[in-house]
Chain A
Amino acid sequence: MTISANQWLDRIRSLPLERTVRIMNVCGGHERSISMAGLRKALPASIELIPGPGCPVCICPEEDLFEAIQLALHEDIILVAFGDMLRVPVNVKKCDARTLEQAKARGADIRPLASPTEAVKIARENPETPVIFFAAGFETTTAPVAAMLVEGAPDNLFVLLSGRLTWPAVAMLLESGDAGFDALVAPGHVATVMGPEEWQFAVDKHNIPAAIAGFTPQSLLAAMYSVIRQIIDGRCFLDNCYPELVREGGNPAARRQLQQAFHVRAANWRGIGIIPGSGYVLRTAFMQHDARKHFPDYVEDARKRAGEMPPGCDCAKVVLGKIYPNECRLYGKACVPRNPVGPCMVSDEGACRIWWANGMRQPSPGKEAQANG
Protein backbone atom coordinates (compact mmCIF):
# COMPACT_ATOMS: atom_id res chain seq x y z
CA MET A 1 0.00 0.00 0.00
CA THR A 2 1.35 3.41 -0.85
CA ILE A 3 1.24 6.14 1.77
CA SER A 4 -0.22 9.47 0.68
CA ALA A 5 1.40 12.85 1.24
CA ASN A 6 -1.18 13.67 3.93
CA GLN A 7 -0.49 10.43 5.75
CA TRP A 8 3.22 11.22 5.71
CA LEU A 9 2.47 14.67 7.09
CA ASP A 10 0.41 13.11 9.91
CA ARG A 11 3.25 10.77 10.71
CA ILE A 12 5.75 13.61 10.80
CA ARG A 13 3.43 15.72 13.00
CA SER A 14 3.08 12.87 15.48
CA LEU A 15 6.83 12.51 15.97
CA PRO A 16 8.05 13.62 19.40
CA LEU A 17 10.30 16.39 18.19
CA GLU A 18 11.77 18.49 20.97
CA ARG A 19 13.91 20.91 19.07
CA THR A 20 14.17 22.59 15.69
CA VAL A 21 15.49 20.39 12.89
CA ARG A 22 17.05 22.00 9.86
CA ILE A 23 16.91 19.83 6.76
CA MET A 24 18.88 20.77 3.67
CA ASN A 25 17.29 19.77 0.37
CA VAL A 26 20.19 19.79 -2.06
CA CYS A 27 18.34 19.67 -5.33
CA GLY A 28 16.63 22.52 -7.19
CA GLY A 29 13.98 20.08 -8.43
CA HIS A 30 13.21 19.19 -4.83
CA GLU A 31 12.88 22.86 -3.97
CA ARG A 32 10.35 23.28 -6.77
CA SER A 33 8.23 20.40 -5.50
CA ILE A 34 8.47 21.62 -1.90
CA SER A 35 7.49 25.17 -2.82
CA MET A 36 4.72 24.13 -5.18
CA ALA A 37 3.19 21.68 -2.75
CA GLY A 38 3.49 24.26 0.06
CA LEU A 39 5.31 21.78 2.29
CA ARG A 40 6.97 24.47 4.41
CA LYS A 41 3.58 25.69 5.62
CA ALA A 42 2.21 22.19 6.04
CA LEU A 43 5.06 20.95 8.21
CA PRO A 44 5.38 21.75 11.93
CA ALA A 45 7.20 25.03 12.61
CA SER A 46 10.06 23.15 14.23
CA ILE A 47 11.07 21.72 10.85
CA GLU A 48 13.08 24.09 8.69
CA LEU A 49 13.68 23.25 5.03
CA ILE A 50 16.78 24.91 3.62
CA PRO A 51 17.28 24.96 -0.15
CA GLY A 52 20.86 23.94 -0.97
CA PRO A 53 23.40 24.14 -3.78
CA GLY A 54 21.37 22.23 -6.41
CA CYS A 55 21.24 24.86 -9.14
CA PRO A 56 23.91 24.30 -11.80
CA VAL A 57 23.11 27.57 -13.54
CA CYS A 58 23.58 29.51 -10.31
CA ILE A 59 27.04 28.18 -9.59
CA CYS A 60 28.40 28.07 -13.15
CA PRO A 61 31.60 30.16 -12.93
CA GLU A 62 31.25 33.64 -14.24
CA GLU A 63 34.46 33.24 -16.25
CA ASP A 64 33.03 30.24 -18.14
CA LEU A 65 29.95 32.23 -19.09
CA PHE A 66 32.12 35.16 -20.06
CA GLU A 67 34.27 32.85 -22.21
CA ALA A 68 31.17 31.44 -23.93
CA ILE A 69 29.90 34.96 -24.67
CA GLN A 70 33.29 36.05 -26.06
CA LEU A 71 33.68 32.93 -28.22
CA ALA A 72 30.21 33.49 -29.64
CA LEU A 73 30.94 37.16 -30.35
CA HIS A 74 34.48 36.90 -31.74
CA GLU A 75 34.96 33.45 -33.29
CA ASP A 76 33.39 32.17 -36.44
CA ILE A 77 31.37 29.51 -34.68
CA ILE A 78 27.92 28.40 -33.63
CA LEU A 79 27.49 28.36 -29.86
CA VAL A 80 24.89 26.03 -28.37
CA ALA A 81 23.90 25.91 -24.71
CA PHE A 82 21.08 24.68 -22.51
CA GLY A 83 18.31 27.27 -22.69
CA ASP A 84 18.64 28.11 -19.00
CA MET A 85 22.12 29.57 -19.54
CA LEU A 86 21.10 32.22 -22.05
CA ARG A 87 19.87 34.83 -19.57
CA VAL A 88 22.51 34.44 -16.86
CA PRO A 89 24.38 37.73 -16.42
CA VAL A 90 28.13 38.27 -16.17
CA ASN A 91 29.75 41.32 -14.61
CA VAL A 92 30.74 43.62 -17.47
CA LYS A 93 30.44 47.29 -18.33
CA LYS A 94 26.96 48.45 -19.33
CA CYS A 95 27.94 48.74 -23.00
CA ASP A 96 29.11 45.10 -23.25
CA ALA A 97 27.00 41.98 -23.72
CA ARG A 98 25.96 40.79 -20.25
CA THR A 99 24.30 37.55 -21.31
CA LEU A 100 24.38 35.06 -24.16
CA GLU A 101 20.96 36.43 -25.11
CA GLN A 102 22.43 39.92 -25.53
CA ALA A 103 25.35 38.51 -27.52
CA LYS A 104 22.81 36.83 -29.79
CA ALA A 105 21.01 40.14 -30.26
CA ARG A 106 24.36 41.56 -31.39
CA GLY A 107 24.55 38.99 -34.16
CA ALA A 108 26.32 36.03 -32.57
CA ASP A 109 25.02 32.64 -33.69
CA ILE A 110 23.79 31.26 -30.39
CA ARG A 111 21.20 28.51 -30.20
CA PRO A 112 19.44 27.13 -27.15
CA LEU A 113 19.12 23.39 -26.89
CA ALA A 114 17.41 20.85 -24.70
CA SER A 115 19.66 17.84 -25.37
CA PRO A 116 23.24 17.01 -26.35
CA THR A 117 21.75 15.09 -29.30
CA GLU A 118 20.71 18.46 -30.76
CA ALA A 119 24.32 19.66 -30.58
CA VAL A 120 25.34 16.63 -32.65
CA LYS A 121 22.58 17.35 -35.14
CA ILE A 122 23.55 21.02 -35.51
CA ALA A 123 27.21 20.05 -36.00
CA ARG A 124 26.25 17.50 -38.69
CA GLU A 125 24.09 20.04 -40.49
CA ASN A 126 26.92 22.60 -40.48
CA PRO A 127 30.03 20.54 -41.26
CA GLU A 128 32.09 23.60 -42.25
CA THR A 129 31.43 25.53 -39.03
CA PRO A 130 32.82 24.70 -35.60
CA VAL A 131 30.01 24.17 -33.10
CA ILE A 132 30.83 24.86 -29.45
CA PHE A 133 28.57 23.23 -26.88
CA PHE A 134 28.72 25.21 -23.64
CA ALA A 135 27.79 22.36 -21.29
CA ALA A 136 27.08 23.40 -17.72
CA GLY A 137 25.34 21.05 -15.36
CA PHE A 138 25.53 18.49 -12.60
CA GLU A 139 26.09 14.74 -12.92
CA THR A 140 22.66 14.06 -14.47
CA THR A 141 23.41 16.45 -17.30
CA THR A 142 27.15 15.85 -17.59
CA ALA A 143 26.67 12.08 -17.99
CA PRO A 144 24.70 12.54 -21.25
CA VAL A 145 27.48 14.85 -22.48
CA ALA A 146 29.94 12.04 -21.76
CA ALA A 147 27.66 9.57 -23.55
CA MET A 148 27.53 11.89 -26.53
CA LEU A 149 31.35 12.00 -26.74
CA VAL A 150 31.88 8.28 -26.17
CA GLU A 151 29.24 7.36 -28.74
CA GLY A 152 31.17 9.50 -31.24
CA ALA A 153 30.74 13.21 -31.93
CA PRO A 154 31.33 14.95 -35.29
CA ASP A 155 34.83 16.46 -35.74
CA ASN A 156 33.47 20.01 -35.74
CA LEU A 157 31.76 19.64 -32.35
CA PHE A 158 33.63 21.06 -29.34
CA VAL A 159 32.61 21.05 -25.71
CA LEU A 160 33.17 23.98 -23.36
CA LEU A 161 32.64 21.91 -20.26
CA SER A 162 31.47 23.35 -16.98
CA GLY A 163 30.23 20.13 -15.36
CA ARG A 164 30.08 19.83 -11.57
CA LEU A 165 29.57 17.12 -8.97
CA THR A 166 27.01 17.94 -6.29
CA TRP A 167 28.20 16.01 -3.24
CA PRO A 168 31.57 17.85 -2.85
CA ALA A 169 29.68 21.13 -2.24
CA VAL A 170 27.75 19.50 0.59
CA ALA A 171 30.96 17.93 1.88
CA MET A 172 32.59 21.37 1.88
CA LEU A 173 29.68 22.80 3.90
CA LEU A 174 29.90 19.98 6.42
CA GLU A 175 33.65 20.27 6.71
CA SER A 176 33.41 24.02 7.31
CA GLY A 177 32.08 23.24 10.79
CA ASP A 178 29.23 25.68 10.19
CA ALA A 179 26.99 23.70 7.87
CA GLY A 180 23.77 25.18 9.27
CA PHE A 181 21.72 22.00 8.85
CA ASP A 182 21.11 18.80 10.84
CA ALA A 183 19.92 16.43 8.14
CA LEU A 184 20.13 15.96 4.42
CA VAL A 185 17.64 15.15 1.66
CA ALA A 186 19.82 14.04 -1.24
CA PRO A 187 19.00 14.46 -4.94
CA GLY A 188 17.12 11.58 -6.57
CA HIS A 189 18.19 11.83 -10.17
CA VAL A 190 21.84 12.48 -9.36
CA ALA A 191 21.72 9.29 -7.27
CA THR A 192 19.93 7.47 -10.11
CA VAL A 193 22.98 8.03 -12.28
CA MET A 194 25.79 7.98 -9.72
CA GLY A 195 24.39 5.60 -7.11
CA PRO A 196 23.25 6.39 -3.57
CA GLU A 197 26.70 5.50 -2.15
CA GLU A 198 28.06 8.96 -3.02
CA TRP A 199 26.07 10.38 -0.07
CA GLN A 200 27.27 7.86 2.48
CA PHE A 201 30.01 10.29 3.58
CA ALA A 202 27.44 12.52 5.28
CA VAL A 203 26.48 9.66 7.58
CA ASP A 204 29.90 8.09 8.07
CA LYS A 205 32.05 11.18 8.40
CA HIS A 206 29.64 13.77 9.77
CA ASN A 207 26.93 11.82 11.55
CA ILE A 208 24.28 13.55 9.48
CA PRO A 209 21.07 11.61 8.82
CA ALA A 210 20.47 11.40 5.08
CA ALA A 211 17.76 10.16 2.74
CA ILE A 212 17.54 10.15 -1.03
CA ALA A 213 14.22 11.47 -2.32
CA GLY A 214 12.32 11.54 -5.58
CA PHE A 215 10.27 14.49 -6.74
CA THR A 216 6.76 13.74 -5.53
CA PRO A 217 5.62 15.27 -2.23
CA GLN A 218 5.21 11.68 -0.99
CA SER A 219 8.81 10.76 -1.66
CA LEU A 220 10.09 14.03 -0.22
CA LEU A 221 7.98 13.67 2.93
CA ALA A 222 9.07 10.05 3.30
CA ALA A 223 12.68 11.25 3.21
CA MET A 224 11.96 13.99 5.75
CA TYR A 225 10.20 11.51 8.01
CA SER A 226 13.18 9.21 7.71
CA VAL A 227 15.79 11.79 8.68
CA ILE A 228 13.73 13.14 11.59
CA ARG A 229 13.23 9.59 12.86
CA GLN A 230 16.95 9.04 12.59
CA ILE A 231 17.55 12.14 14.73
CA ILE A 232 15.00 11.06 17.35
CA ASP A 233 16.32 7.50 17.46
CA GLY A 234 19.92 8.74 17.61
CA ARG A 235 20.86 6.34 14.85
CA CYS A 236 21.74 7.70 11.44
CA PHE A 237 22.02 5.89 8.14
CA LEU A 238 21.56 6.61 4.45
CA ASP A 239 17.96 5.87 3.54
CA ASN A 240 16.77 5.40 -0.02
CA CYS A 241 13.26 6.84 -0.36
CA TYR A 242 13.35 6.63 -4.15
CA PRO A 243 14.00 2.90 -4.68
CA GLU A 244 11.98 2.85 -7.90
CA LEU A 245 14.85 4.65 -9.63
CA VAL A 246 17.83 4.74 -7.33
CA ARG A 247 19.68 1.44 -7.34
CA GLU A 248 22.93 0.33 -5.82
CA GLY A 249 25.79 1.53 -7.99
CA GLY A 250 23.54 3.87 -9.99
CA ASN A 251 23.56 3.51 -13.75
CA PRO A 252 26.76 1.54 -14.52
CA ALA A 253 26.94 2.42 -18.22
CA ALA A 254 26.52 6.13 -17.48
CA ARG A 255 29.20 6.07 -14.80
CA ARG A 256 31.58 4.21 -17.11
CA GLN A 257 31.05 6.78 -19.85
CA LEU A 258 31.65 9.65 -17.43
CA GLN A 259 34.90 7.96 -16.39
CA GLN A 260 35.92 7.39 -19.98
CA ALA A 261 35.33 10.94 -21.15
CA PHE A 262 36.21 13.06 -18.11
CA HIS A 263 38.37 13.19 -15.08
CA VAL A 264 37.56 15.01 -11.87
CA ARG A 265 39.49 17.87 -10.36
CA ALA A 266 39.10 20.95 -8.17
CA ALA A 267 36.78 23.50 -9.75
CA ASN A 268 35.42 26.98 -9.20
CA TRP A 269 31.81 27.59 -8.13
CA ARG A 270 30.46 31.05 -8.78
CA GLY A 271 30.55 33.19 -5.66
CA ILE A 272 31.70 30.25 -3.59
CA GLY A 273 35.22 29.50 -4.76
CA ILE A 274 37.24 26.39 -5.47
CA ILE A 275 35.77 23.11 -4.25
CA PRO A 276 38.13 20.11 -4.35
CA GLY A 277 37.14 17.20 -6.61
CA SER A 278 34.01 18.94 -7.86
CA GLY A 279 34.57 19.57 -11.58
CA TYR A 280 34.70 17.48 -14.74
CA VAL A 281 37.46 18.01 -17.33
CA LEU A 282 37.82 16.30 -20.73
CA ARG A 283 40.38 13.51 -20.83
CA THR A 284 43.27 13.66 -23.30
CA ALA A 285 41.58 10.95 -25.38
CA PHE A 286 38.81 13.46 -26.17
CA MET A 287 41.08 16.48 -26.54
CA GLN A 288 40.02 16.91 -30.17
CA HIS A 289 36.60 17.96 -28.83
CA ASP A 290 37.83 20.20 -26.02
CA ALA A 291 36.91 23.82 -26.80
CA ARG A 292 39.42 25.00 -24.20
CA LYS A 293 42.24 23.44 -26.24
CA HIS A 294 41.18 24.73 -29.65
CA PHE A 295 39.93 28.25 -29.09
CA PRO A 296 41.48 31.35 -27.52
CA ASP A 297 41.07 31.94 -23.81
CA TYR A 298 39.38 35.32 -23.39
CA VAL A 299 39.43 35.22 -19.63
CA GLU A 300 42.13 37.24 -17.91
CA ASP A 301 43.35 36.11 -14.52
CA ALA A 302 41.76 39.14 -12.90
CA ARG A 303 38.34 37.88 -13.94
CA LYS A 304 39.03 34.40 -12.58
CA ARG A 305 39.69 35.92 -9.18
CA ALA A 306 36.86 38.41 -9.35
CA GLY A 307 34.37 35.95 -10.81
CA GLU A 308 31.69 36.81 -8.34
CA MET A 309 27.99 37.38 -8.26
CA PRO A 310 26.67 40.69 -9.58
CA PRO A 311 26.94 43.58 -7.07
CA GLY A 312 24.31 43.38 -4.33
CA CYS A 313 23.30 39.82 -5.25
CA ASP A 314 23.39 37.30 -2.41
CA CYS A 315 23.07 34.19 -4.61
CA ALA A 316 26.17 32.59 -3.14
CA LYS A 317 24.65 32.73 0.35
CA VAL A 318 21.33 31.46 -0.98
CA VAL A 319 23.04 28.55 -2.74
CA LEU A 320 24.92 27.59 0.42
CA GLY A 321 21.73 27.72 2.49
CA LYS A 322 23.06 30.58 4.63
CA ILE A 323 20.08 32.82 3.91
CA TYR A 324 16.62 32.37 2.41
CA PRO A 325 16.02 34.02 -0.98
CA ASN A 326 13.74 36.73 0.44
CA GLU A 327 16.49 37.83 2.79
CA CYS A 328 18.37 39.33 -0.16
CA ARG A 329 17.77 43.06 -0.22
CA LEU A 330 17.18 43.01 -3.97
CA TYR A 331 14.61 40.18 -3.88
CA GLY A 332 11.38 41.34 -5.49
CA LYS A 333 12.68 44.88 -5.79
CA ALA A 334 15.51 45.35 -8.25
CA CYS A 335 15.53 41.58 -8.89
CA VAL A 336 12.48 39.80 -10.35
CA PRO A 337 12.26 36.98 -12.94
CA ARG A 338 11.57 39.43 -15.77
CA ASN A 339 14.60 41.48 -14.87
CA PRO A 340 16.93 39.20 -12.92
CA VAL A 341 20.02 40.56 -11.20
CA GLY A 342 21.55 37.22 -10.24
CA PRO A 343 21.51 33.66 -11.58
CA CYS A 344 19.25 32.38 -8.77
CA MET A 345 16.44 34.49 -10.24
CA VAL A 346 17.12 33.25 -13.81
CA SER A 347 17.10 29.51 -13.48
CA ASP A 348 14.01 27.36 -12.95
CA GLU A 349 16.09 25.65 -10.31
CA GLY A 350 17.27 28.83 -8.64
CA ALA A 351 15.75 29.22 -5.19
CA CYS A 352 14.97 32.93 -5.72
CA ARG A 353 12.98 32.24 -8.86
CA ILE A 354 11.18 29.25 -7.35
CA TRP A 355 10.14 31.23 -4.29
CA TRP A 356 8.98 34.17 -6.39
CA ALA A 357 7.09 31.90 -8.83
CA ASN A 358 5.31 30.29 -5.92
CA GLY A 359 4.05 33.55 -4.54
CA MET A 360 6.58 34.44 -1.84
CA ARG A 361 6.34 38.24 -1.86
CA GLN A 362 7.35 39.11 1.71
CA PRO A 363 10.87 40.10 2.65
CA SER A 364 12.18 38.00 5.52
CA PRO A 365 13.59 39.38 8.77
CA GLY A 366 16.30 36.87 8.07
CA LYS A 367 17.90 33.77 9.35
CA GLU A 368 20.95 35.83 10.19
CA ALA A 369 18.85 38.31 12.17
CA GLN A 370 17.04 35.47 13.92
CA ALA A 371 20.31 33.86 14.83
CA ASN A 372 21.62 37.10 16.28
CA GLY A 373 18.54 38.13 18.16
Chain B
Amino acid sequence: MCLGIPMQIRGIEGYVARCEAKGIERDVNLFMMQEEELAVDDFVVVHVGYAIQKITPQEAQTAWELYDQMLAAG
Protein backbone atom coordinates (compact mmCIF):
# COMPACT_ATOMS: atom_id res chain seq x y z
CA MET B 1 0.00 0.00 0.00
CA CYS B 2 3.01 2.28 0.36
CA LEU B 3 4.16 2.12 -3.24
CA GLY B 4 4.03 5.35 -5.23
CA ILE B 5 3.82 5.42 -9.02
CA PRO B 6 5.44 8.14 -11.18
CA MET B 7 3.05 10.08 -13.44
CA GLN B 8 3.43 13.05 -15.78
CA ILE B 9 1.31 16.17 -15.36
CA ARG B 10 -0.81 17.04 -18.40
CA GLY B 11 -2.86 19.85 -16.92
CA ILE B 12 -3.38 21.62 -13.59
CA GLU B 13 -6.52 23.17 -12.16
CA GLY B 14 -6.28 24.35 -8.58
CA TYR B 15 -5.19 21.38 -6.49
CA VAL B 16 -6.10 18.84 -9.13
CA ALA B 17 -3.73 17.71 -11.85
CA ARG B 18 -4.60 15.57 -14.82
CA CYS B 19 -1.75 13.08 -14.88
CA GLU B 20 -0.72 10.37 -17.29
CA ALA B 21 1.35 7.21 -17.08
CA LYS B 22 1.56 4.51 -19.74
CA GLY B 23 -1.39 6.01 -21.62
CA ILE B 24 -3.65 5.94 -18.55
CA GLU B 25 -4.96 9.30 -17.29
CA ARG B 26 -6.02 10.05 -13.73
CA ASP B 27 -6.93 13.07 -11.62
CA VAL B 28 -4.27 13.52 -8.97
CA ASN B 29 -4.64 15.67 -5.87
CA LEU B 30 -1.83 18.21 -5.35
CA PHE B 31 -2.77 19.37 -1.87
CA MET B 32 0.34 17.78 -0.36
CA MET B 33 2.59 19.50 -2.92
CA GLN B 34 1.99 23.09 -1.87
CA GLU B 35 5.67 23.83 -1.26
CA GLU B 36 6.67 22.71 -4.76
CA GLU B 37 6.47 24.63 -8.00
CA LEU B 38 4.69 22.30 -10.39
CA ALA B 39 4.07 22.79 -14.10
CA VAL B 40 2.65 20.82 -17.00
CA ASP B 41 5.06 18.05 -18.13
CA ASP B 42 6.62 17.67 -14.66
CA PHE B 43 6.71 14.21 -13.08
CA VAL B 44 5.30 13.42 -9.66
CA VAL B 45 5.12 10.24 -7.59
CA VAL B 46 1.49 9.43 -6.87
CA HIS B 47 0.27 7.40 -3.93
CA VAL B 48 -3.46 6.68 -3.34
CA GLY B 49 -4.41 9.52 -5.69
CA TYR B 50 -2.17 12.14 -4.07
CA ALA B 51 1.15 13.44 -5.38
CA ILE B 52 3.75 12.92 -2.63
CA GLN B 53 6.92 14.18 -4.33
CA LYS B 54 8.30 15.61 -7.54
CA ILE B 55 10.87 13.59 -9.50
CA THR B 56 13.02 14.05 -12.58
CA PRO B 57 12.02 12.45 -15.91
CA GLN B 58 15.02 10.08 -15.72
CA GLU B 59 13.98 8.87 -12.28
CA ALA B 60 10.42 8.37 -13.43
CA GLN B 61 11.75 6.27 -16.30
CA THR B 62 13.86 4.08 -14.02
CA ALA B 63 10.97 3.55 -11.64
CA TRP B 64 8.68 2.57 -14.50
CA GLU B 65 11.11 -0.03 -15.72
CA LEU B 66 10.79 -1.78 -12.35
CA TYR B 67 7.02 -1.50 -12.27
CA ASP B 68 6.84 -2.94 -15.77
CA GLN B 69 8.69 -5.99 -14.51
CA MET B 70 6.36 -6.19 -11.52
CA LEU B 71 3.25 -5.93 -13.67
CA ALA B 72 4.60 -8.50 -16.11
CA ALA B 73 5.19 -10.86 -13.19
CA GLY B 74 1.63 -10.20 -12.00
Chain A interface (Cβ within 8 Å of chain B)? 2, 27-29, 32-33, 36, 54, 56-57, 82, 84, 114-118, 137-138, 140-141, 143-144, 147-148, 150-151, 187, 189-190, 192-193, 214-217, 244-245, 247, 251-254, 257, 347-349, 357
For A150, give the chain B residue with the smallest CB separation.
B31
Distance of A253 Cα from B48 Cα, bound (Å): 17
Interface size on B, residues (CB 8 A): 30
B48/A189 in contact, CB under 8 A:
no
Chain B proximity of A34: nearest CB distance (Å)? 12
B3/A189 in contact, CB under 8 A:
yes
Nearest 8 CB-CB pairings of A with B? A115-B49, A144-B50, A254-B32, A244-B59, A253-B34, A140-B2, A29-B3, A147-B31
B2/A57 in contact, CB under 8 A:
no
Chain B proximity of A122: nearest CB distance (Å)? 13
B2/A33 in contact, CB under 8 A:
no
Chain A proximity of B15: nearest CB distance (Å)? 7
Distance of A231 Cα from B11 Cα, bound (Å): 48
Distance of A253 Cα from B36 Cα, bound (Å): 9
Chain A proximity of B45: nearest CB distance (Å)? 6
Residues of B within 8 A of A54 (CB): 2
A36/B69 in contact, CB under 8 A:
yes
B29/A144 in contact, CB under 8 A:
yes
Q: Which of B29-73 contact A (CB under 8 A)?
A: 29, 31-35, 45, 47-50, 52-53, 55-56, 59, 62-63, 65-66, 69-70, 73
Residues of B within 8 A of A117 (CB): 27, 29, 49-50
A215/B3 in contact, CB under 8 A:
yes
B2/A253 in contact, CB under 8 A:
no
A57/B1 in contact, CB under 8 A:
yes
A143/B52 in contact, CB under 8 A:
yes
Chain B interface (Cβ within 8 Å of chain A)? 1-4, 15, 27, 29, 31-35, 45, 47-50, 52-53, 55-56, 59, 62-63, 65-66, 69-70, 73-74
A-B contact pairs, 11 of them (CB 8 A): A28-B2, A36-B69, A114-B49, A140-B52, A148-B29, A189-B52, A215-B63, A245-B4, A245-B45, A257-B31, A348-B1
A245/B2 in contact, CB under 8 A:
no
Residues of A within 8 A of B53 (CB): 192, 245, 247, 251
For B45, give the chain A residue with the smallest CB separation.
A245
For A136, give the chain B residue with the smallest CB separation.
B1
- Describe A's contact surface by its main secondary structure: helix
Chain A proximity of B34: nearest CB distance (Å)? 4
Contact of B2 among A141, A216, A217 (CB under 8 A): A141
For A140, give the chain B residue with the smallest CB separation.
B2
Contact of B1 among A137, A147, A148 (CB under 8 A): A137
Chain B proximity of A196: nearest CB distance (Å)? 13
Name, among B27, B49, B74, the residue most crowded by chain A CB atoms within 10 Å (CB to CB).
B49
Distance of A216 Cα from B4 Cα, bound (Å): 12
B2/A349 in contact, CB under 8 A:
yes
B2/A151 in contact, CB under 8 A:
no
Contact of A244 among B47, B55, B69 (CB under 8 A): B55
Residues of A within 8 A of B15 (CB): 151
Q: A36-B69, A141-B2, A150-B31 are in contact. List 17 more A-B contacts (CB 8 A).
A: A28-B2, A36-B70, A36-B73, A114-B48, A116-B50, A117-B27, A138-B2, A140-B2, A144-B47, A147-B32, A148-B29, A151-B31, A190-B2, A216-B65, A245-B53, A251-B32, A254-B52
B1/A28 in contact, CB under 8 A:
yes
For B33, give the chain A residue with the smallest CB separation.
A253
Chain A proximity of B55: nearest CB distance (Å)? 6
Residues of B within 8 A of A115 (CB): 29, 48-50
Residues of A within 8 A of B52 (CB): 140, 143, 189, 192-193, 251, 254
For B74, give the chain A residue with the smallest CB separation.
A357
For A139, give the chain B residue with the smallest CB separation.
B2
Residues of B within 8 A of A140 (CB): 1-2, 4, 47-48, 52
Chain B proximity of A85: nearest CB distance (Å)? 10
For B72, give the chain A residue with the smallest CB separation.
A36
B4/A253 in contact, CB under 8 A:
no
Query: A147 with B29: in contact, given A140-B4, A244-B56 (CB under 8 Å)?
Result: yes
